Every structure is written in C-alpha cells, then in structure tokens.
Structure 1
C-alpha cells in the first residue's frame, strides 16, 4: 500500500485530507516528523489561512529541508490550497510580501474579482496530458475557497476563471498542486487524488 504523509505544521484540513486519501487506498499518517515526511512514498502539504502564517508554521517543522530532500530524489509532493501557494517564490497579502518555499516559479497575489473570496464550485480547464485530471470531464467541478492566486507559472498548468483566469492546478516534475480542495470536492476530488496516487 502506498504510504502518504499529510504534513502537520499547524494549518490545514488535516483529518479531511487524511480521510480523502484513505478513501482512495493510501496508508496515511498525519505528522510533523521531518524524517517521516521525507521517507513516505507521497507527501501532502495542506493549508488554510494566511500565506505568511503558513510559512511560519512550515519553517517551524523544517519543510524547506524536507522538500529539498524529496525533490532531489524526485519523490512526489502534492500541495493543496495555501499548501499550493507556499510552494511558489513569494506571496503578497495586504501589501506585504513574504518569501515562499521557492519550489515553483511565480507569485501569489490578490485575485482580481468583483467577489472575494472565490468560494464554491467551479470548473477547471486542464491540459490534455495532465496526470491529475486523467479521465475527468472538462465540466467537472471542484470546490474552491481563496482570495489569492497565482497568475503565471511553468509546468502543466490548469486554469479556472473567477473574475479573471488564474492557475488552479500545476504539475511540474515531482510536484503537483491544486488551488481547490480535492478533499472537499466529492467524487471528483477522490478521482483526482486517486490519479495522484498513481504517480507516487
């Protein structure tokens, strides 16, 4: 059975992520232990709330070293919501810029939309070669809750529109990330997580 660590750094829907991954067949541990996070087959970085606060929590558990070790060996990582955002170079909230983990190129900035947060179900325009979205119809909806987003990055990029297009998922080497919450997205989210497990 595939082992997955959900990284506990004081932020995120840890138990709902754990249950969603167990539902699709993973052996899941929720922990802040760095060695377990490095050694697991897959690592999930969840996250809710403010970018800077999440980064402080991640620094507290040595997440940068964990990610460096995993990516050196091309071991899969999945970031979810703010757990996706912190993988980028920087995040700007309320005019204050905070350094991110720098795993993915790009900046997290306020979503330019008439209504924020972007909350609820929305579709994702994914590239045909995406592993995450394999077998999912173009009109499949996922659950979003966020006010900030990345607008440009590199890799296989999926986009969603709320006021403007933004990056709703990215796949780049061993790193996968979603701005939406697969663990809150019902059968569609389960299918995406199952697809990710196939890459682990």
Structure 2
C-alpha cells in the first residue's frame, strides 16, 4: 500500500522556488519603505468631526440655576435639529458647556449653521441680563487642549485674574506648548460718576 501525502500547492510552490519568494518579499518590503517615506506627515493633522461646543458664562449663578436658565433652553433647541446624534451638557457655577454631536455625513459648515440657528432660537428663552452670548466652537483636534487648568478660590476676581495671567505666562515659556488661552474670566468694568456741580 502506497503512502500518499497530501500536498498544499501554494506551500510546495514556495518551497520549490525559495529564491523567487525571497526576491518578491524583499521587493514588497522596499516598496513599503519607499511609500512610507513619501507619505505626508503632520504633527497636528487637520481632522474635523461634526461636534460643536456651546459655551455660555452667566456669572453669579449656581449650577442648578445655570442648568435651568441656560443649558435646558439651548439643549431643547439643539435636540430638534436635523442630523443631531447626541446633546450633552455640563452645568457648573457660572458656566454652561453643551456638546452637540452630529452625523458624520454632514459638512462642518452645515453643522455650524444649524447650531447657530438653534442657539439663536433659544436666545429668546435665555435671561435678559446675560452679558455674553453663547460661544459656538467647532472641535478641531489640533486645538483640543491637552491640559485644562481651572483657577478658583476665596479671592477677589482681580486676584484670580492676576494669578491666572501669571500662570499663563509661565506655561507659555514651555517651548513644547503651542498655545495658551484664558477663558471665562470676568471683564473689568469701570463706572464713572460725574459731579456736574
């Protein structure tokens, strides 16, 4: 009785032609390395995703008041926008942050327009003494902060601003840091009473 061994054709071909297989593998490796060298690379590539932040400061209010007076009216309008996937909000003392995520098929310009329209509709329900309009920001991966520092405490707004500016200046001295921004600080106001007598 003959002992028949089953052969797998491709394996047998590779074993019988080892030099050819080695040359083809080497050529594929060289082509891959050459392609990798020619591939464009960026440290901070432009990548956009249809996600928008709506930031609204309203100083002198608790987190609960911010949620009821700011976050809910804007969320309600955003949830009615066509193409919206999700709306999430964070309400803290003096500040509301709403994140709206849209379908990936939408263009960023369309997403911004729809968000601005929804926020404009919600403005009629927002407090009349709101000093700053809601700020609409698109997410750009190259501008997403790696570190966020919050400055707060039992100090006057001027002392907190001065400390934040000192901290900002120190962080800007670090050569690896590309950009430092301060947000949410109260703008200084001066009141001048004129004595006409």
| Interval containing the TM-score (normalised by the shorter chain) | under 0.3
**TM-score of the aligned structures, taking structure 2 as reference length:** 0.26
The structure in which a higher percent of residues are strand is 1
The normalised TM-score by structure 1 is 0.25
Larger radius of gyration: 2
Which is richer in helix? 2
